[in-house]
Structure formats: structure tokens, C-alpha cells
Amino acid sequence: MVHITRRERFSAAHKLAHPNWSNEKNHDTFGKCANPNWHGHNYNLWVTVKGEPEPLTGFVVDLSALGDVIKDKVIQHVDHKNLNLDVPFTKHLMTSTENLAIAIWNELENSVIKLGAELHCVKISETENNYVEYFG
Amino acid sequence: MVHITRRERFSAAHKLAHPNWSNEKNHDTFGKCANPNWHGHNYNLWVTVKGEPEPLTGFVVDLSALGDVIKDKVIQHVDHKNLNLDVPFTKHLMTSTENLAIAIWNELENSVIKLGAELHCVKISETENNYVEYFG
Amino acid sequence: MVHITRRERFSAAHKLAHPNWSNEKNHDTFGKCANPNWHGHNYNLWVTVKGEPEPLTGFVVDLSALGDVIKDKVIQHVDHKNLNLDVPFTKHLMTSTENLAIAIWNELENSVIKLGAELHCVKISETENNYVEYFG
Amino acid sequence: MVHITRRERFSAAHKLAHPNWSNEKNHDTFGKCANPNWHGHNYNLWVTVKGEPEPLTGFVVDLSALGDVIKDKVIQHVDHKNLNLDVPFTKHLMTSTENLAIAIWNELENSVIKLGAELHCVKISETENNYVEYFG
Amino acid sequence: MVHITRRERFSAAHKLAHPNWSNEKNHDTFGKCANPNWHGHNYNLWVTVKGEPEPLTGFVVDLSALGDVIKDKVIQHVDHKNLNLDVPFTKHLMTSTENLAIAIWNELENSVIKLGAELHCVKISETENNYVEYFG
Amino acid sequence: MVHITRRERFSAAHKLAHPNWSNEKNHDTFGKCANPNWHGHNYNLWVTVKGEPEPLTGFVVDLSALGDVIKDKVIQHVDHKNLNLDVPFTKHLMTSTENLAIAIWNELENSVIKLGAELHCVKISETENNYVEYFG
């Protein structure tokens, strides 16, 4: 069993705020992340899949096919978008990094199986000082 | 003469779009950066000042004083903010990285002189694949 | 279950040498790390905690609260200090990266529980070419 | 039990192509990696071993001894070499990153035991956007 | 006047060896870079252009147009290629990083003028420990 | 004229404090950098030289010869040392990064000329958030 990871990147706007809470309560809970006019990040996304290398190619999975799946299922929907307003699979959520990782796992899981591998981890960094990992 | 550089970081939302242009024209000109609901970045800001080291301290400038100036004049205004809506010195601009660098230079120039040094360069990266430098 | 990691940094002096060994024996065992007048590093510290995202916030743990705990329990005691002379929880130890990771785990474990999460990993890098991970 | 990791680097040429397939079939399967005249990479190699810190030194393993093993068993054979033509332990393989990780594991496993530790993971990155991990 | 820089990357094979020198003389002069069966690198290429921001867009140059020029003139010719055998503008050269930078400058200079800017610097890194800059 | 840069690294202890000032005055002036028991850093050192590529080799300077000079003149004296106590060319100085850059320039200037090139810049970073450049 070998793990292989591909990184993709996206830049998006978001905020952390409950629509039915006051600005004060949102600011007390989420700090500067609650700014009503949004803020944004360059997100790094690492998708790790696992399996046995196919004897003829030496590949657990064709990395460019994995890249295409990540772009098709995730990146085109989130890159240069607003995670709270534009993205079908996140706009109903608190767009914490934790919830992003779970939502992206759900978008990818079946497509990775179709590539002949198993999804192992979705890792997202929001800044250089924090990241989240979800293992399903 | 020695150059010394301090890096600070901020996360902000913005878009590139003329308010009096159609969505189509904005998209043709600015691509995905024109998304009406904003997007965002983790910006890195490097501020380079120059001067002669003061003999008793060996400092061109006290780096924590320089850091305080950058935070006071720039970071507190832009971090977790919308560059087009929230920031006094950028909200009237196309918020291209080029224009950000010039606007930040203007915010910092006099304060750096008060620290006893000279502003040499404002460098900003928007993603890991591009950056802008302004030398005044 | 989601894992979330916060990075903090500190700069410290240390050496690797037994007080009751000769300089020769220390140098034979620890190489240049035994230099009697100390050396130092910029350490990176990654603290990983795990738990389930709280439904209202989407947070496993409030990252700024986690950051405060790390600063309060660890960073203020080690940053710009001598690990062999100044730090209550390391000065009785061989200050190998392995022992640092274990000592920092012990400082953090209970405080992370009070935040409602579980400590998963303490990772420390001493240079860009090596790092240690401790899982309790 | 503590995990400790050392990074080494090497630069090598390789290609992905079956000697008994046509250029067309190789290109269809391996894309630009099948270029007949080779291409190359700066590979990063992280070797993680695990064990209990030795009480007198605080070391799971002497990192410079581990470095020497990695250089002796792996780096001197692959650095500035052609993985398909020059390297005894990879020249009979499809030199995918997956197969490299397994082959390097096999070169290192016994030598790490002689150092008094256990090999935990061989991780290799081929570019900044992908890496492979093998756990034996 | 503002400087703006775009990074592109490519992976290539090469060697440093005179075709009419002995292996011994090539090895004495170029060390392990003379390995007859090639080696390779992940090259980073930074292209810096300068000009005044256009008032309506705030752009010195449209970065995606600059990216297209770099890909068209340089990257498609060198990525996953052998610099000594496959690349029209380098195959007659000693493929030192110095010569690569000059050759890439010559490929780009006129196309950057057509974009309405001026080429300022071509910077290339061969490994994380060295890079070359050419200013024309 | 081409510029070529080589990075070397060293880990050292130091403090910023005047021997004839009180602890209070040193702390007021230098903050936590004045800790009497030292602290330390992983320093990165970039040495840039310039010249014309030699036609037969394509080299401005043989990078491994330049590396040997940097190791001989600088790294062996500062790595795993105390800059205030152990290093002939810095122990009489306030060991600010500014003064380090100037002192290292002076150690290297003549040796670079003997390699047939000209020293252009000595750049040192003390942490990931600051660096100094000296151009002679």
C-alpha cells in the first residue's frame, strides 16, 4: 500500500458569521473573521489517495487524472469564488477550514474510487500557520 | 548603506471590476478576478528600508519599531478586510497588486523617515506565483 | 473526527553536553552540538489537536484560543531563551529535539483538554532538514 | 515512542516508458514523462524512523549517523544520475515516485535496524505539487 | 515605474560536458554534473517586467498574458525535455544556469515589448541553494 | 554581466547587549534579544557574485568553488558557535544582522576576486520575517 498526494491551490473569499446573530455576537465568537464585507485566503489543498502500484505503470493512480478530478469536482467551483455565496457544497455551511475539509472529502470520495484508489486524507491550509486534516 | 527588510502578512478580499462596466466587459478584461461576489488572498508584504547602522546598536532601524509602523499604517487597515470596500487608502482604486504596492508606499514613506531610515522598496505577493515591487 | 494544527515559532539557544562528561567525550558523542558556548535555532512548533467540529461554529477548537495556550504554556518560556538554563520544563534535560517534543506535550496536554479537544501530535523542526513528532 | 525525520535531496534524470511499447503508446500512457531523451527532477527524500529516546543522549537515533546511512545507501547512487540507466536498485523498474519510495525503503530497512531504530516512512516529492509515502 | 514578476516552473534533464573532451576532463571540470547519462532538475523561472500601471486596469501587464508568453516561448520547449538534445535555443550551449538565463532572456525580450512592458530580469533557480539573475 | 547566488546555512547563538550597560538599559533597547543567557537562530546566507560567463564552461564562477570559499571563510567559523564569544570577525561587534552582513562581506570580498568574479551582495535572514542585504 502506497500513499500519493497531489496539491492544488485556490483563492477564495469567505467570512465566519451566523446570519441570524448580531454583529457583536459574531465578532465576539469569530473575531476579525466575522468582518461583514468578507476577507479571503490562498488555500492549499492536498488530496492523499492510497492503493497498490499498478505493475505496468508503477502508478497507484495517474496523477494527472487525479488532478483533473480535483479541478472538476472542487477547484473550478471554489477558485476566485465566495465560499459563502457561490459554492454549492459550502454555501450552507460555516466555512471553517474544518467544514471545508469535510465538504471537499464528500465531493471527491466517489470519484477517487472510480480512479481505482481510495481517498485517505483531505488536508487544507488557510494560512501558513494552520491546516486541517480529515480522514473520513 | 545597508538594506533591511521586514515581512508582514494579511488576508483580504477584493475583486477587479469597474463599477460602470458590464459584467461581460469586466470578465473579458479581468477574467476570474472580476467575480462579483469577491475572492481573496493571503498577501505577503515585504518592506525594505535603507540607511547606515547606528554604531551603538548596529541597527539601521529597530525592526520591532518598523513592524509597529507597518501594523499601524497598513496591516490593521487591510487584514481580514475588503480592499474595495473597507480600506481608506485602496477603496477608490483598481485593487491590482501594482496599485496596492504604490498605495502602501504612500502610507509608509513619511513614517519610515521618522524612524531615521529611508523607504527603499515595497514588495507584495498575491500568490506564490507572482509579486510586485515598487521603489517610489 | 478532524485534526487541526497550529504552527508557532521560537528562537532559542542550547547545547547537547553532559555536565559531568569531558569536552572530548561530549564532542565525540554530540559533535558540533556540544560547543561549550552554545549555539541556537529557529524552531518551528506544530501542535495538532483532534475532535469533532462544534455545529454552531464549525470549529474543533478556537484556533486563537489554541494559539494563546501554546504561547502561555510554551512560547513565552522558550522564545529568545536558553533551553538548558532558562526554561523550567527543559533545563534538567538533554535538550534533543526528541526530548523537547515530549516536554512540550506534557506542558500542553491538560490545557488542550480544557479547550474541549484532544492533543494528537507535537511536531518540532530544528532545521529545515529534520523534525520530530511525538504522539503521546 | 518518538518519530524523527531527516530530509536529504538528490537531482536525477528519468523517464516513464516501456522499452517494448511504441512511442505513441508510451505517450498516451505517461504523457510528457515519456519523452525519449529524458527529463529530470530535484527530489526531496524524507526518511522517518521511530523508537524511544536513549536516556543519556535524548536521541532516538544519531541524526548524522542516519544521514550517513541515507547518503551511503541511497543518495550517492541516485544523485546526478539517471534512475533508469545508472542506479542498481531502480534501473529495472518503472521509475514512478511510488516505485522509488518502495525501492528506497528496501535499501534502508536493515541499516536503520542496525542504528537501533525502526524505519517508519519513506516520503519522496518529485515536484512541489506531489509526493508519495510508503510505510512498508 | 513598477516591477511585476511571474513564476513558472519546468522539469528538465541536462548535463555539463564538452562533446570533444574526455570523460576525465569533463568530470574534473564539471564534477557530478558531467554524468554521461544525464541528470535533471525542477527549475523555477521568475520573469520580471517593468512599466507604469495602465490607469483603467491598474496593470503594468496582464499577468495571464505574460504567463501565456512565457509558456509559449519557453516552458513548452523546455518542460520534460533534455536541454542539451531537445531545445532549439539551448542545445548548442553549455547548459549552465547562467547560459539558460541569457537564452531565455533572448526568447522573451521582444514578446514582452509587444505586451507594452520592458523585460527587467530573468531569474532561474536550479536547486534551492543557487540561482542566477540576468538583467540584459 | 550575470549574477549568481549561492545559499549556505548556519545555526548560531548570540545576544544583543552592551557589556557596560545595565540589564535594564539593554532590555529597554534590545528587548528579548538582550536575554543574558543567549538565544539563537538558523541563519540563511546568500552570497551573490557577478561577472561574465566563461565561454568554455558557461560559468561566472564554479559554484562548488564558491561554496568552498564561503564554508572556509565563514561557515566553519560561525556554525554551531556563539557569535559574541567564538567568532573572530564578529565577537567585537553588536551582532545585529546588519553588522553580520558587513562582517561577512569583508571576509569574502578578496576571495571572490581570486575566483575571477566580483562580490555583489551579502544577504542574511535571521528569521523567516526579516533579512538584511549589504552591497559593499
pLDDT at F80: 98
pLDDT at D50: 98
Instruction: State how far the alpha carbon of F132 is from the alpha carbons of B50, B99, B105, C127, E123, in Å.
Output: 10, 26, 19, 20, 20
Average pLDDT, chain C: 98
Mean pLDDT for the stretch of residues B109-136: 98
Is A134 in Cβ contact with C6 (below 8 Å)? no
pLDDT at F57: 97
List the chains bordering chain F where 3 or more Cβ pairs fall under 8 Å: B, C, E
Q: How far apart are CA E112 and CA E109, in angstroms?
A: 5
**Distance (Å) from the C-alpha of residue D43 to the closest C-alpha of chain C?**
14
pLDDT at E109: 98
List the chains bordering chain E where 3 or more Cβ pairs fall under 8 Å: B, D, F
The rounded radius of gyration (Å) of the Cα atoms in chain C is: 17
Q: How far apart are CA D54 and CA F24, in angstroms?
A: 41
Most F CBs within 10 Å: which of B1, B3, B62, as the mutation test of the F interface? B3
Residue % of chain E over a pLDDT of 90: 100
* Active site members of C: 33, 80, 126
Q: Looking at D33, D41, D98, D118, which residue is catalytic?
A: D33
Q: Do residues E116 and E51 make contact, with C-beta atoms less than 8 angstroms apart? A: yes
* Helix or strand holding residue C77 (H, E): helix C76-78
- Measured CA angle at A128 (ends A126, A132), to 5 deg: 45
Q: C-alpha cell of D65?
A: 549517523
| Helices D97-114 + D63-70 axis angle, to 10 | 130
Q: Looking at F8, F27, F33, F98, which residue is catalytic?
A: F33
Residue % of chain D over a pLDDT of 90: 100
pLDDT at F71: 98
Which residue type sits at B77? H
Which residues are CB-neighbours of B122 under 8 A, at least 6 positions away?
B45, B46, B47, B48, B101, B102, B104, B105, B108, B133, B134
Q: How far apart are CA F1 and CA F50, in angstroms?
A: 7
Q: How far apart are CA B83 and CA B95, in angstroms?
A: 7
Which chain F residues touch C37 with a CB distance below 8 Å?
A: 13, 81-82, 85-86
Q: How far apart are CA B119 and CA A78, in angstroms?
A: 38
**Distance (Å) from the C-alpha of residue D6 to the closest C-alpha of chain C?**
5
Most C CBs within 10 Å: which of D1, D62, D63, as the mutation test of the C interface? D63
Q: C-alpha cell of B29?
A: 478584461
CA D19 to chain centre: 23
Average pLDDT, chain D: 98
Residue % of chain B over a pLDDT of 70: 100
Which residue type sits at C130? N
Mean pLDDT for the stretch of residues F122-133: 98
Mean pLDDT for the stretch of residues C46-71: 97
Residue % of chain C over a pLDDT of 90: 100
Domain boundaries, chain E: 2-134
Q: Do residues E55 and B93 make contact, with C-beta atoms less than 8 angstroms apart? A: no
* Matching residue, cell 533597547: F29
Residues A23-35 have pLDDT tens digits of 999 999 999 999 9
| Helices A63-70 + A97-114 axis angle, to 10 | 130
The rounded radius of gyration (Å) of the Cα atoms in chain F is: 17
Most A CBs within 10 Å: which of D104, D126, D130, D134, as the mutation test of the A interface? D130
- Terminal alpha carbon distance of chain D: 18
Please count the residue pairs, one from chain A and one from chain D, whose beta carbons lie less than 8 angstroms apart. Answer: 52
Which chain A residues touch B85 with a CB distance below 8 Å?
A: 37
The domain made up of E2-134 has a fold known as: Tetrahydropterin Synthase; Chain A (3.30.479)
Which residues are CB-neighbours of B7 under 8 A, at least 6 positions away?
B44, B45, B46, F128, F129, F130
Residues A94-135 have pLDDT tens digits of 999 999 999 999 999 999 999 999 999 999 999 999 999 999
Mean pLDDT for the stretch of residues F17-33: 96
pLDDT at B106: 98
Q: How far apart are CA A107 and CA B62, in angstroms?
A: 50
**Residue A60 touches chain D, beta carbons under 8 Å:** yes
β partners of residue F81: F12
* Matching residue, cell 454552531: C56
Mean pLDDT for the stretch of residues C45-67: 97
Give φ, ψ of D83 to 5 degrees: -65, -25
Closest CA to C70 of C108, C121, C36: C108
In the 8-state DSSP scheme, what is residue E33? G
pLDDT at A15: 98
Closest CA to E79 of E46, E45, E36: E45
Q: How far apart are CA D104 and CA B41, in angstroms?
A: 39
pLDDT range class, residue D23, cuts 50, 70, 90: very high
Mean pLDDT for the stretch of residues E115-128: 98
Minimum-distance CB partner of F131 among B1, B5, B59: B5
Alpha helix ranges (H) inside chain F: 23-30, 63-70, 76-78, 97-114
pLDDT at C113: 97
Q: Label residue E67 exposed, middle or buried (CB < 10 Å: 0-12, 13-18, 19+).
A: middle
Residues E75-107 have pLDDT tens digits of 999 999 999 999 999 999 999 999 999 999 999
CA B48 to chain centre: 12
pLDDT at E80: 98
Is C41 in Cβ contact with F81 (below 8 Å)? no
**Residue F30 touches chain B, beta carbons under 8 Å:** yes
Which chain B residues touch F101 with a CB distance below 8 Å?
A: 2
Which chain A residues touch C60 with a CB distance below 8 Å?
A: 98, 132
Average pLDDT, chain B: 98
3-state secondary structure of B61: coil
pLDDT at B35: 98
Which residues are CB-neighbours of A110 under 8 A, at least 6 positions away?
none
* Matching residue, cell 469564488: A81
